[in-house]
Amino acid sequence: MTKRAFPVLMMLALAALPARAQKSKEPRNAPANCPWCHGDKAMMQAAGIVSHGGFEFGSKNTAWADQFLGGRDLYWIESTHFELGLALGPQKVGPDESKAIRAELTELAKVLPEVDPKTRVLEPFMRTHLYAWRLEQTWKRFLELMQVKESDFPDGRSVWLLGQPYWGEGPYVGEKGKFELLVLPTASDQVAFIKEQFGLTIKRTQRWNIIDRESLIVVTNLSENELYTDEQLHGHVVFNVSINLIDAFKHYSYETPCWLREGLGHYMEREVTPRFNTFDSSEGSIGVQVNKENWNAEVRQLITAGKAPRVAELSALRTYAELEMRHHYTCWSMTRFMIETNPKGYACLNAKLHGRKRADGQADAENLTDVLRDAFGECLGMSYAQFDDAWRAWAMTQ
C-alpha cells in the first residue's frame, strides 16, 4: 500500500507545578522532573508507562521533534500501546469537567500515589499521564467492542502462513508499531511538523499512516480545532484514535467503509462527552459545524420526516465530502444500535470486513460493498431493508 494522507479535516490551557524543586540545569520537561513518577522505572512500570521520551515518533524520533519544535516544551510519554507528545501547558479543571476528571485521577492515584484527585489544575506532566491512561482505556474499549484479545494478534516476528486466518502483522491490533498522538498549540506548529515529516500543509487534525514502522498517528492542534477545554480535547482525541484503531484492525491494508469509521468515532467520542462533537470532512472543505448535544432527538426527527438515510445509502458513501449532518447522526445511531442490541453481531461484522486476503496472499479490498451486505446477513441476521426497519423502530424509542 502506498503512503497517503487520510483526506480529513476535523471540526471540532494555569498555575505552578506542585511544590517540588526542579533541577536547575534540566529542561522543565526532563523525565526526572515529573512530579508524579519522578522518572522512576519501578513506579513507571507499575503505572504502565514505558518511558518519558526517547523513542521513534512519526517518520523520525522524539529527539528530532524536540529540536525541530525547539520553541515548545514537548512532554513525551510512552505507554503499553501508545506514544504521545503533548505540548500542553497547565489546564484549569472546569466545573463541568471536575466530576469526570476526579474519577480519572482517583484511578491514577492507585499507581501514582502523589496524585491528588481533587486538584483544580492539571500541570503538563499530569496531563501526559492522564492522556496515556485515557488512551489505554480507549484501547481496552476497542478490544471489547471487537470482542478480541491481545493474544489474538501476532507478535510482530512470526510469519503468516497462506491459508490461515489473517490477524495482521503485529501486536497493536494488527500493526507492528504503537499508535501515536501529537498535540500542538497552534496550526502553524502543526503545519511545520507535518510538512517536514509528511509533506502536508493541513491546519486541522490529521491522521496518517507511517508505513515504514506500521504505525498510525494523529496530529492535532488546539487553536485551529478550537479545543479550549480538557473535555473538548479528550473527546476529539478519542474520536480520531478510535478511527485509527478500526482502520488498523487486522492490519491497515485497506480502508474501512467510511460510515462505519465515522460511526465508531462518534460513538467513542460521545461516550466521553456528548457536549462537543468532531466531524470528518474532506481537505479544502469546511464541512459540518453543528454542535448539538441530544442526537437521539435529531435522529427521531429525521426518521419522522422520512429523511434518515438507509444502510444502502451510507454504504455507497466513498469520501467524507459526501457526509451531511443526517449521515453523521445516522451512522452514529446505527453503530450504537448494533453495539447495544447485538454486540456480537457488530464484532462479527468488523471481523468479516478486516483482514481479508486473496488466494495469492495479497490484501483483498475488492467488492467490500458486497462483503458488507453479506456480513449483515451472516452477523446480524438481517438484510439491509430488515436492518433499516429494526433500527428505525429502536431509534424512535431512544
pLDDT digits (tens, 9 = 90+) for 46-78: 999 999 999 999 999 999 999 999 989 999 999
Average pLDDT, the chain: 91
pLDDT digits (tens, 9 = 90+) for 87-110: 999 999 989 899 999 999 999 999
Q: What does the pLDDT average to over 293-321? A: 96
* Residue 265 confidence (pLDDT): 98
CB 340 within 8 A of CB 263: no
* Alpha carbon distances (Å) from 359 to 164, 165, 333, 336, 364: 11, 12, 36, 35, 9
* Residue 283 confidence (pLDDT): 59
| Residue 13 clears pLDDT 50, i.e. is over it | no
Hey, what's the cell of 295? 442526537
Q: Cα–Cα distance between 291 and 167 in angstroms, integer?
A: 37
* Residue 288 confidence (pLDDT): 62
| Residue 284 clears pLDDT 70, i.e. is over it | no
Nearest Cα residue to 182 out of 48, 269, 61, 36: 61
Hey, what's the cell of 59? 517518520
Question: In sequence order, which residues have a C-beta less than 8 Å from that of residue 88 and are 6 or more positions away?
Answer: 13, 75, 124, 127, 183, 185, 222
DSSP H helical segments within 308-395, as ranges?
Answer: 311-316, 325-341, 343-353, 368-375, 384-395
Confidence of residue 186 (pLDDT cuts 50, 70, 90): very high
What are the φ/ψ torsions at residue 266 (nearest 5 degrees)? -60, -45
* Residue 52 confidence (pLDDT): 95
Residues 148, 154, 155, 156: is their CA dihedral positive or negative?
negative
Lowest mean pLDDT among 23-32, 127-136, 291-300: 23-32
